[in-house]
Amino acid sequence: MKSDAAVHEPSARCGEPPSPKRGWAVWVTGLPASGKSTITAALLRRLEAKGVYAQVLESDELRQVLTPQPTYSEEERDRFYAAMVYIGELLSRNDVNVIFDATGNRRAYRERARALIPEFIEVFAKCPLEVAMQRDHKGTYTMARTGRSRTVPGVQSVYEEPFSPEVTVESDRLSADEAAERILEALVKRGLVKAGER
């Protein structure tokens, strides 16, 4: 006997887990000694004050694991930044916010992150080379001058400035707190951080 009951086909997505919430990513780029780490620390403090947390991927720290005896060759940098972006994308895919604190001297490195992470903000810590060389907290430029390093971005290796970063901060003119506030404003404007969060 034929039933009059309607037959409902199962949904094509039946049984699939819901799409997970994704984290955002900020890449603070600039010449060595342009103030990236200081700006990142100031941004972290502001985010944590609002109850928003992020994992910092700092290039020097990550190199201790990925390339403990770095040569800074172009080939090694290509592999290093590919791994760094992969880790960042993996974290963001699992609802972890990420801050890349890294020179990323080639635009291609940062654009790879932009292509893989939907909510991505590039921050250019703009600083004249002569100012960065005067700061030289880690002795990077001293090594370039004395011949102990031959691959310092902005001196012997190219540093490709962003074409159209979401945020540009003149780190020789603004304090780290002022720069961090501008980044936070960009996150709020994009709806990635709520203006009213504590």
Q: How many domains does the chain have?
A: 1
User: Considering the chain, what percentage of its residues have pLDDT values greater than 70?
Assistant: 88
Residue 99 domain flag: yes
Residue 40 domain flag: yes
Task: Answer whether residue 40 shows pLDDT above 70.
Answer: yes
Q: Contact 99/28 with Cβ under 8 angstroms?
A: yes
**What does the alpha-carbon distance between residue 171 and residue 174 come to, in Å, rounded to a whole number?**
5
Residue 120 domain flag: yes
Q: Kindly report the CATH number assigned to the domain that includes residue 85.
A: 3.40.50.300
Q: Give the DSSP per-residue string, 138-150.
A: TSHHHHHHTTS-S
pLDDT at 8: 41
Sign of the torsion formed by the C-alpha atoms of 111, 46, 91 and 152: positive
Q: Give the DSSP per-residue string, 27-45.
A: EEE-STTSSHHHHHHHHHH
Residue 65 domain flag: yes
When computed from its CA atoms, the radius of gyration of the chain, rounded to whole angstroms, is: 21
The sheet carrying 120-126 orders its strands as: 54-58, 97-101, 25-29, 120-126, 167-170
User: Which residues span the domain enclosing 182?
Assistant: 25-189
Residue 38 domain flag: yes
Better-predicted residue by pLDDT, 154 or 48: 48
**3-state secondary structure (DSSP) of residue 57:** strand
pLDDT tens digits for range 111-149:
999 999 999 999 999 999 999 999 988 888 888 888 888
Better-predicted residue by pLDDT, 17 or 31: 31
Band of residue 71 on the pLDDT scale cut at 50, 70, 90: confident
Residue 195 domain flag: no
